């Protein structure tokens, strides 16, 4: 574009703002050489910034607690509150602190307001302490902790087990029924759900009992190692009734029965459903490993470790003395508070 | 973090977490669960968590918020009862009045004030825990203090 007298001002402005190319600058200089009356315009400079000029009340524009002390006298109620809260929150700078202290001495109402605000600081109630610290702590081999309410429910379940156990020992003497007939009866009943051959196994019974204590919503799955069949028992009462019936009526030490707890229902059910693919792992060993891991955080805890872990947790969660042991003579010994059950090895 | 750090965190922070939750939701069993769950989560993420305190308080805070949302539906009647009983104060006990005032605050105001007063968290830290900006935290704290001051004044005047 040619520079003319009509567009020279636009070129001069672009020149001052540094928007012209080298070529355009040369063109502009050539034009001014021909028209010297525009020479003065080239000397125009942008207006220098006067740094000495500042907005007088910048602080008042800011949000938050910063209130400029100079304008204190004119603070309205809300600004006064801001100023005091800023003091309480340790947000005042040195100058503001100074001004604050002067205001405090000079203005009675300000002092009253300040005292009122100091009452809003929430004191730490040191009487409130978390009493279950020891439960939360871990050692390398310690299992995940239990939810407080869950543990309380375990205790409740333990009471049910105790009561049921009491009734069992009191009213159902073992071995009174003909064993052969009982076994036939049980097997006949289980024909509806084929492949189940529940038997008493002291180890698995004790294991199941322990699981019941820990998991009141327990669904027991009875299965043989080869032929998998789920049998979900919906309630603890029914579970106990069936367990007692099983133990009273069925005795076959040679059968391998796994009593397992679906602590994590889905993975375990899924595992049952896909069990055919798990050729190398028996159902029982799988579940025992799984339960050991979930309950104790240990791959293969010994019996003492298991029972100690259960006892310690239930005791500390409920505040009731809880002692679960299996002694060397294979007695099963459970003590809750004043109550205890001793079960001797059946021959 | 290692196991020692974790156990140290239990000693250092479980009380504070418990107080924070208890003062916020006024339910001791639920508060215990929140604390236990927070430490459970910390345990799972032991190797990745750098600031245990912040992680724990953030976890408990979110648990409180979730809990409050669930409880909100049932709150109408309870709050009416609470309001009625608040006028039955017969004696002056600042601590009691303050507790009642605290329960009258909005959930977010109550939580930021508790984090500030109980734990001495900075605005920035509170902002990180509550997903608020620093300015929002300041505003909530200011409003909470103003409300509490007026609440205390009103109750004192009544008594």
Q: Note the pLDDT tens digit of each residue in A178-196.
A: 444 443 343 333 333 332 2
In this predicted structure, what is the pLDDT of residue A337?
54
Per-residue confidence at A151, pLDDT binned at 50, 70, 90?
Answer: low
Burial of B35 (0-12, 13-18, 19+ CB in 10 A): buried
Task: Please answer whether residues A86 and A92 qualify as being in contact, where contact means their C-beta atoms are separated by less than 8 angstroms.
Answer: yes
Per the model's pLDDT, the better-predicted residue between A303 and A280 turns out to be: A303
Task: Please tell me which of the candidates B6, B95, B141 has its beta carbon nearest to residue A89.
Answer: B141
CA–CA distance from A51 to each of A54, A55, A65, A68 (Å)?
Answer: 7, 11, 26, 21
**Dist CA A154 CA A213 (whole Å):** 6
- Residue among A64, A135, A148 whose CB faces B33 most closely: A148
Question: Hey, what are B85's tokens?
Answer: 């009983």
pLDDT digits (tens, 9 = 90+) for A10-31: 888 777 777 788 888 888 888 8
Give the whole-number percent of chain A exceeding pLDDT 90: 0
Only one residue has tokens 């009141």, namely: A216
Length of chain A (residues) = 347
The dihedral over CA atoms of A292, A295, A296, A300, expressed in degrees to the nearest 10, equals 0
Nearest-CB residue to A122 (from B15, B36, B114): B114
More confident residue, B114 or B92: B114
**Taking all residues of chain A, what is their mean pLDDT, rounded to a whole number?**
58
List, in sequence order, every residue forming a beta bridge with A340; answer none if it has no partner. A335
pLDDT tens column, A27-60: 888 888 888 877 776 655 444 555 666 665 555 5
Q: Which residue of A has its CA nearest to B144?
A: A120
Query: Which chain A residues touch B10 with a CB distance below 8 Å?
Result: 133, 136-137
- What tokens appear for B88 in the block? 């039955």
Please give the share of chain A, as a percent, with pLDDT higher than 70. Answer: 29
Residue B85: partners with Cβ closer than 8 Å, 6 or more residues away: none
Tokens of B117: 């007063």
Q: What is the pLDDT of residue A83?
A: 85
Confidence (pLDDT) at A300: 64
What is the nearest CA distance from B157 to chain A, expressed in angstroms?
13
The whole-angstrom separation of Cα B127 and Cα B138 is 9
CA quadruple A297, A301, A304, A306: dihedral sign? positive
- Cβ-Cβ contacts under 8 Å, A121 against chain B: 117
- Asked if B17 lies within 8 A of A65 by C-beta distance, the reply is no
Sign of the Cα pseudo-torsion (B122, B123, B125, B129, in order): positive
Token pair for residue B37?
């769950």
Cα separation, A105 vs A94, whole angstroms? 17
Query: A160 vs chain B: nearest CA distance in angstroms?
Result: 23
- In chain B, the N- to C-terminal Cα span, in Å, equals 52
What mean pLDDT do residues A146-175 have? 52
Tell me the pLDDT tens digit for each residue of A289-335.
555 555 555 656 666 676 666 666 655 655 556 566 655 554 455 55
Q: CB within 8 A of A67, min separation 6: which ones? A: A59, A60, A75, A79, A82, A83, A86, A96
User: By the 8 A CB rule, do A86 and A65 touch?
Assistant: yes
**Other CB atoms within 10 A of residue A252 CB:** 16
Residue scoring higher pLDDT (A217 or A20): A20
Tell me how far apart the terminal alpha carbons of chain A are, to the nearest angstrom. Answer: 115
What pLDDT, on a 0 to 100 scale, did the predictor assign at position B108?
A: 92
Rounded Cα distance, A128 and A125, in Å: 6
pTM score of the predicted model: 0.45
Higher pLDDT among residues A177 and A140, named by residue: A140
| Structural contact between residues B138 and A65, judged by C-beta atoms closer than 8 angstroms | yes
Numbered residues of chain B with Cβ closer than 8 Å to any chain A Cβ? 3, 6-7, 10-11, 14-15, 17-19, 22-23, 29, 32-33, 35-37, 39-40, 43, 94-95, 98, 101-102, 113-114, 116-118, 135, 138-139, 141-142, 144-146, 148-149, 152-153
3-class DSSP state of A342: strand
Kindly identify which residue of chain B lies nearest to residue A79, measuring between CA atoms.
B142
| pLDDT tens digits, one per residue of A56-111 | 555 555 555 544 444 455 677 777 888 888 888 888 888 888 888 888 888 888 88
Residue A64's pLDDT is what? 52
Residue B110, pLDDT score: 92
Q: At residue A284, does pLDDT exceed 70?
A: no
* pLDDT for the residue A326: 58
Mutate to test the interface with A, among B1, B21, B137, B142 (most CBs of A within 10 A): B142
Q: Is the Cα dihedral A323, A328, A329, A332 positive or negative?
A: positive
Residues B122-134, mean pLDDT to the nearest whole number: 91
Task: Share the mean pLDDT of chain B.
Answer: 82
Q: What is the sign, positive or negative, of the torsion defined by CA atoms of A103, A104, A108, A114?
A: positive
Task: Look at residue B123 and tell me whether its pLDDT is greater than 60.
Answer: yes
Identify whether the C-beta of residue A106 lies closer than 8 Å to the C-beta of residue A70: no
């Amino acid at each position: 574009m040619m520079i003319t007298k009509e567009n020279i001002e636009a070129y001069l402005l672009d020149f001052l703002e540094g928007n012209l190319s080298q070529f355009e600058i040369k063109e502009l200089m050539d034009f001014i050489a021909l028209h010297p009356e525009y020479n003065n315009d080239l000397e125009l400079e942008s207006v220098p910034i006067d740094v000495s000029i500042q907005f007088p009340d910048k602080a008042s524009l800011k949000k938050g607690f910063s209130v400029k002390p100079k304008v204190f006298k004119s603070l309205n109620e809300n600004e006064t509150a801001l100023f005091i809260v800023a003091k309480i929150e340790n947000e005042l700078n040195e100058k503001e602190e100074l001004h604050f202290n002067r205001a405090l001495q000079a203005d009675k109402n300000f002092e009253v307001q300040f005292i009122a605000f100091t009452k809003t600081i929430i004191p730490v109630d040191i009487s409130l302490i978390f009493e279950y610290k020891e439960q939360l702590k871990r050692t390398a081999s310690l299992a995940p902790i239990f939810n407080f309410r869950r543990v309380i429910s375990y205790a409740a379940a333990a009471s049910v087990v105790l009561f049921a156990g009491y009734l069992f020992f009191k009213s159902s003497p073992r071995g009174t029924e003909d064993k052969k007939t009982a076994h036939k009866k049980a097997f006949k009943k289980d024909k509806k759900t084929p492949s189940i051959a529940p038997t008493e196994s002291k180890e698995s019974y004790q294991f199941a009992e322990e699981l019941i204590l820990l998991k009141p919503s327990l669904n027991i799955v009875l299965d043989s190692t080869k032929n998998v069949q789920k049998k979900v028992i919906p309630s603890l009462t029914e579970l106990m009734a069936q367990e007692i019936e099983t133990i009273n009526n069925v005795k076959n030490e040679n059968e391998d029965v796994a009593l397992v707890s679906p602590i994590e229902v889905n993975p375990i059910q899924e595992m049952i459903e896909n069990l055919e693919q798990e050729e190398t792992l028996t159902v029982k060993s799988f579940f025992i490993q799984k339960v050991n891991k979930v309950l104790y955080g240990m791959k293969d805890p010994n019996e003492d470790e298991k029972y100690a872990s259960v006892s310690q947790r239930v005791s500390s969660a409920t505040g009731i003395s809880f002692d679960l042991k299996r002694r060397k003579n294979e007695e099963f010994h459970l003590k809750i508070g004043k109550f205890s059950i001793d079960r001797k090895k059946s021959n | 973090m290692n196991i020692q750090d974790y156990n140290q965190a239990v000693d250092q922070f479980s009380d504070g977490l418990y107080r924070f939750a208890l003062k916020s939701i006024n339910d001791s069993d639920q508060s215990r669960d929140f604390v236990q769950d927070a430490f459970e989560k910390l345990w799972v993420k032991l190797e990745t968590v750098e600031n245990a305190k912040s992680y724990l308080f953030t976890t408990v805070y979110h648990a409180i918020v979730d809990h409050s949302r669930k409880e909100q539906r049932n709150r109408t009647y309870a709050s009416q009862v609470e309001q009625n009983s608040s006028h039955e104060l017969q004696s002056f006990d600042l601590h009691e009045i303050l507790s009642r005032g605290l329960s009258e605050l909005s959930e977010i105001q109550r939580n930021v004030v508790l984090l500030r007063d109980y734990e001495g968290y900075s605005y920035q830290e509170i902002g990180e825990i509550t997903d608020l900006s620093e300015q929002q935290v300041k505003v909530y704290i200011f409003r909470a203090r103003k409300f509490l001051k007026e609440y205390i004044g009103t109750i004192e005047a009544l008594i």
